[in-house]
Amino acid sequence: MSTSAISFSDQVNKNFDRAAALSDIPPDVLEQIRNSNSVYKLTFPVRRDNGGIEVIDAYRVEHSHHRLPTKGGIRFSLAVNQDEVEALAALMTYKCAVADIPYGGAKGGICIDRSLYSEAELERITRRYTFELLKKNFIGPGVDVPAPDMGTGAQEMAWIADTYMQMSRNEIDAIGCVTGKPVQFGGIRGRKEATGLGVYFGIREACDDADDMKQLGLKTGVEGKTVVVQGLGNVGFHAAKFLSESGAKVIAIAEYDGAIVDRSGIDVEACQKHRQETGSILGLPGSEDLQPSAAALELECDILVPAALENVITGENVGRVKAKIIAEAANGPVAADAGEQLSKRGCLVLPDMYLNAGGVTVSYFEWLKNLDHVRPGRMEKRFEENVYRNLLDAIESASGYSFSAEERKGIAKGADEQDLVRSGLDETMTNAYRNIREQRRRHKDQVDLRTSAFLVAINRIASAYEHLGIFP
Ligand code: GLU
């Protein structure tokens, strides 16, 4: 059977089993961790603008109830099916465990091509889906909390929150029923760029590991590394932007209709602007077009960032992939067998369940903000600024040195919401990387980072089960 014939959830389970075999967790507990706890398949009618009725297929899977609420995005895509949603929900469980976010994993999907629906139709679909979830207790701030995913964003999350709030009675935390909302409607600053920024933090941590970089024949640090990005969506764009701002060179970007290459480095923001104006990244002045799009995956580079779909590096093309580091910004871009081949030849694969955890991490901060009913930083920002100012005054009078207005502005700054979100995200991604790397060292570097990440996750989930009651 070729790799691509294996279903997505079989791929996730294959990776799980490889790690599980190295753990000393009893098989019955492993079985409980591996399986989806609740699978809800629903169909509902939606009135089209032309008066007709269409029946929509949708899913919500809660993979693990070892922690509540469960958490995970909702995607709008024609590729949505039960297997895909189960696989993605399982990845959410492992992702939250690796990042030490106290949630079980979940995922939702509505099987539509959103470009075929008007804004009003999308609103009706989203609200009806929310209503159906609510009827079956598949949504709520303490139960299951959706978020954006492929094909959805802040607007859909606002419709979900509004529907939930209209249906709930006197529930003070109702707005915490969904994350990724607009900032003006219970969202948090920094959520939009969170996954891409988390991808950057993860790559930075990997590139700072002197042993690993030596093994790959690379210098430490992100600076000067050549990068190819597949997918200039929200995650790919922000990952590319933060990587270039830190001195990496983005030499190619691939989209569904083709790729562009410029070995001297692509201006990521100019590329985004060009796409907004022309409808495509192709034809960006100064760069060359490359067809087919998938050829970009095979370019010579230090870091390849697949930030689009699952299963893009498979048994079929893995032999031609030359990148030394593969940073899985998307969910499941490297098929299980391709991953084995990559680690055999020493390629460092930064696994999805770690690398794209930035989104759910900042979702967690948004949920905490909703439950706290106060914006992070609101209580302490001004107080901190006053403390720093007093400290600067004391230093000035003791030393005779006089700080410039610019220096004062830089030092006497209290943290605002975005500063706190970014620092919390950095802390989460850095700690998680260290845990995974340490786990790998414990296995004398004989396992890859994905297996190490699974081991960290499985151990954490298993220890939660030790404290859970099994009823009746
Ligand atoms: N959809 C994102 C993911 O796959 C975010 C999930 C969330 O924020 O709950 O990680």
CATH number at residue 177: 3.40.50.10860
| Structure tokens belonging to residue 398 | 């003791």
Which residues share a beta bridge with 57?
43
In a domain, 152, yes or no: yes
CA 16 from chain centre, in angstroms, equals: 19
Mark whether 236 and 327 lie in a shared domain: yes
Mark whether 174 and 267 lie in a shared domain: no
Please tell me the distance from the alpha carbon of residue 71 to that of residue 84, in angstroms, as a whole number.
Answer: 16
Strand order in the sheet with 38-47: 38-47, 53-62, 104-110, 70-76, 144-148
| Structure tokens belonging to residue 453 | 């990440």
> What secondary structure letter does DSSP report for 229?
E
Mark whether 179 and 223 lie in a shared domain: no
- If one residue of 88, 92, 101, 356 were mutated to test the ligand 1 pocket, choosing by the most ligand atoms within 8 A of its CB, it would be 92
- If one residue of 64, 363, 428 were mutated to test the ligand 1 pocket, choosing by the most ligand atoms within 8 A of its CB, it would be 363
Phi-psi region of 196 (alpha: psi -120 to 50; beta: other; left: phi over 0): alpha
Of 355, 382, 406, the residue at which a domain comes to its end is: 355
Mark whether 102 and 151 lie in a shared domain: yes
Mark whether 179 and 215 lie in a shared domain: no
Mark whether 80 and 209 lie in a shared domain: no
> What secondary structure letter does DSSP report for 298?
G
Please tell me the distance from the alpha carbon of residue 437 to that of residue 200, in angstroms, as a whole number.
Answer: 17
Question: What does residue 107 show for φ and ψ, rounded to 5 degrees?
Answer: -160, 150
Q: Which residues contact 204 (CB under 8 A, 6 or more apart)?
A: 222, 246
> What secondary structure letter does DSSP report for 174?
G
Question: What does residue 37 show for φ and ψ, rounded to 5 degrees?
Answer: -75, -45
Tell me the three state secondary structure of residue 189.
coil
Would you call the peptide bond into 285 cis, given omega within 30 degrees of 0 as the criterion? no
Mark whether 138 and 45 lie in a shared domain: yes
In a domain, 28, yes or no: no
Centre of ligand 1 to C-alpha 149, Å, is 6
Dihedral angle at the C-alpha atoms of 205, 211, 212, 214, nearest 10 degrees?
120
Of 138, 164, 185, the residue at which a domain comes to its end is: 185
Mark whether 144 and 176 lie in a shared domain: yes
Judge whether 14 counts as a catalytic residue: no
Mark whether 198 and 346 lie in a shared domain: yes
Burial class (CB in 10 A: 0-12, 13-18, 19+), 133: buried
Q: Give the Cα-Cα-Cα angle 313, 195, 298 (nearest 5 degrees).
A: 25
In a domain, 459, yes or no: no
Please report which residue ranges of 180-330 form alpha helices under DSSP H. 194-207, 210-216, 234-245, 268-278
Mark whether 165 and 248 lie in a shared domain: no
Please tell me the distance from the alpha carbon of residue 175 to that of residue 172, in angstroms, as a whole number.
Answer: 8
In a domain, 166, yes or no: yes
Mark whether 214 and 67 lie in a shared domain: no
Tell me the three state secondary structure of residue 331.
coil
Q: Which atom of ligand 1 is nearest to the CA of 356?
A: 10
Q: Which atom of ligand 1 is nearest to the CA of 357?
A: 10
Catalytic residue from among 95, 107, 249, 324: 107
Mark whether 124 and 210 lie in a shared domain: no
> What secondary structure letter does DSSP report for 179?
S
In a domain, 440, yes or no: no
Centre of ligand 1 to C-alpha 458, Å, is 19
β pairing state of 325-327 and 348-350: parallel
CATH number at residue 216: 3.40.50.720
Per-residue confidence of the chain (472 residues) as pLDDT tens digits?
A: 344 568 999 999 999 999 999 999 999 999 999 999 999 999 999 999 999 999 999 999 999 999 999 999 999 999 999 999 999 999 999 999 999 999 999 999 999 999 999 999 999 999 999 999 999 999 999 999 999 999 999 999 999 999 999 999 899 999 999 999 999 999 999 999 999 999 999 999 999 999 999 999 999 999 999 999 999 999 999 999 999 999 999 999 999 999 999 999 999 999 999 999 999 999 999 999 999 999 999 999 999 999 998 899 999 999 999 999 999 999 889 998 899 899 899 999 999 999 999 999 999 999 999 999 999 999 999 999 999 999 999 999 999 999 999 999 999 999 999 999 999 999 999 999 999 999 999 999 899 999 999 999 999 999 998 887 777 6
Asked if 133 and 59 count as a contact pair (C-beta separation under 8 A), the reply is no
Containing structural domain, residue 163: 39-185
How many C-beta neighbours within 10 Å does residue 399 have?
A: 8
Centre of ligand 1 to C-alpha 283, Å, is 33
Of 185, 214, 240, the residue at which a domain comes to its end is: 185
Total number of domains constituting the chain: 2
